[in-house]
Amino acid sequence: MKIGIVVNDLYTERSLFPNKIFAPYGLGIALADALVDRGHEITFYGAPSTKTKAALVGGDLSLVREVLEEKKQKPYDFALTSPGEFKLIRYYFEAALIEKAYKDFLAGKIEIVHSYHGFLSIFIASLLSDDTMVMTIHDTIANNNKYFNKWLFSTHPSLNYVSLTHKQRLPLPDIDYVGNVYNGVDVDEFTFSEKPGEYLAFMGRIVREKGAHIAIETAKKLNMPLKIAGDNLGGRESDEYLLESVLPECDGEQIEYVGYIEGKEKVAFFQNAKAVLFPIQWEEPFGMVMIEAMACGTPVIAFNRGSVPEVVDDKKTGFIVDTEEEMAAAVGHVDDISREACRKQVEEKFTTRGMAVQYEEIYQNVLNNTHGKQRKSSKDS
């Protein structure tokens, strides 16, 4: 099959934002590479700095570079001080890449456009051949956005939507889904470690809804070391959260902020942790931190929100809790969790290969029109 995978956010350009956590980007690359390994022709539409086995169609950076040069600002500073302008540039970058993908689709270079981030492509797809577009919904369909999302999806009913978890669907259960695909991790990269260290770990964007402050409170209550890894590039509010609620609590000894990490350093961070704390304050659609940690054998202690019940097997691969008190108490039972069981669950449910196989089936079903949709052109089959 000839598939175009679109992950088109400007934040993924490493020459501009080298330390930005952006989960759909890494997942999109992993999916593209896995599909290439399985013999498919994959084109990846994304940031020019992207490293992938797929053919790469890079986005246009000329506008953002021109603006940065004129303002004499670094990308992070520009995004923070001129959020309106930056948001518009992001939209232009996204739209231009989507345009490239659909031009290739119309030229017959790809058979399916898989939009792996954002909703802008919905509007172009509905004008062309929306039955050959697949959209993975990475964002939460939260109740506070219910009316906006209801309008968006109900006015574009013939697309092929994919959820990350079944819980993600609950606010809008009538959306026409063609599948649910759990995110996957490369188990050859995130390798198992039988003997951890003694510290607790927190990883993620340093924003209030991720709950780093709760991880800090838990570690202090237990008098245990805590290592915090992540970024805070979410704008002024998250910057204030980092400066006021997180960094003042980090003494470099018991509570340590290690910043953004990736690659082998990230794997070692998980391998050597006694447990990973996941005290989310929102209905997170899918937490990659959980499966990355468990792949290394590290149990996860998480609040019962969002995707957590579908990822953590309570009392087998970690603990699902409702309060800070329960989180602290669960830490005392971490040694009851088999690290081998954590690894096994990931190998069975959350691998990159498994993710690719499921998407492969979805693509084939779409091309075969097994979802009951009428194809608009015989050339698309």
Each residue of 341-370: pLDDT tens digit? Answer: 999 999 999 999 999 999 999 999 998 874
Q: Do the domains 199-349 and 2-184+353-380 match in fold?
A: yes
pLDDT digits (tens, 9 = 90+) for 80-98: 889 999 999 999 999 999 9
Q: Does 118 score more than 90 pLDDT?
A: no
Using CA atoms, how far apart are residues 69 and 63, in angstroms rounded to an integer?
Answer: 10
Which class would CATH give 2-184+353-380? alpha beta
The answer to whether 381 touches 210, Cβ cutoff 8 Å, is no
What burial letters (b/e) apply to 22-54, b meaning 16+ CB within 10 Å? bbbbbbbbbbbbbbbeeebebbbbbbebbebeb
**What's the mean pLDDT in 322-330?**
98
pLDDT score for 240: 80
Segment among 81-90, 292-301, 332-341 with least mean pLDDT: 81-90
The answer to whether 185 touches 295, Cβ cutoff 8 Å, is yes
pLDDT digits (tens, 9 = 90+) for 142-159: 655 667 777 887 788 778
**What's the mean pLDDT in 224-232?**
91
Q: Are strands 112-115 and 55-58 parallel, antiparallel or unpaired?
A: unpaired
pLDDT digits (tens, 9 = 90+) for 35-82: 999 999 999 999 999 999 999 999 999 999 999 999 999 998 898 889
What burial letters (b/e) apply to 219-235, b meaning 16+ CB within 10 Å? beeeebbbbbbbbbbbe
Q: Does 282 score more than 50 pLDDT?
A: yes
Segment among 17-21, 62-66, 315-319, 351-355 with least mean pLDDT: 17-21
pLDDT score for 126: 75
Q: Does 27 score more than 70 pLDDT?
A: yes
**What's the mean pLDDT in 114-135?**
80
Q: CA 245 from chain center: how many Å?
A: 25
Q: Does 375 score more than 50 pLDDT?
A: no
Query: What's the angle, vertex CA 204, arms to CA 211 and CA 182, rounded to 5?
Result: 105
Does this model's pTM top 0.75? My answer is yes
Domain range summary for the chain, segments of one domain joined by +: 2-184+353-380, 199-349
Which residues, other chains included, contact 320 with Cβ-Cβ below 8 Å and sequence gap of 6+?
302, 303, 304, 308, 309, 312, 314
Tokens matching residue 376: 């608009």
**What's the mean pLDDT in 134-144?**
78
The answer to whether 8 touches 118, Cβ cutoff 8 Å, is yes
pLDDT score for 341: 98
What would be the CATH architecture of the domain defined by 199-349? Answer: 3-Layer(aba) Sandwich (3.40)
Residue 164's nearest CA partner among 183, 178, 145, 177 is 183
Using CA atoms, how far apart are residues 4 and 101, in angstroms rounded to an integer?
Answer: 7
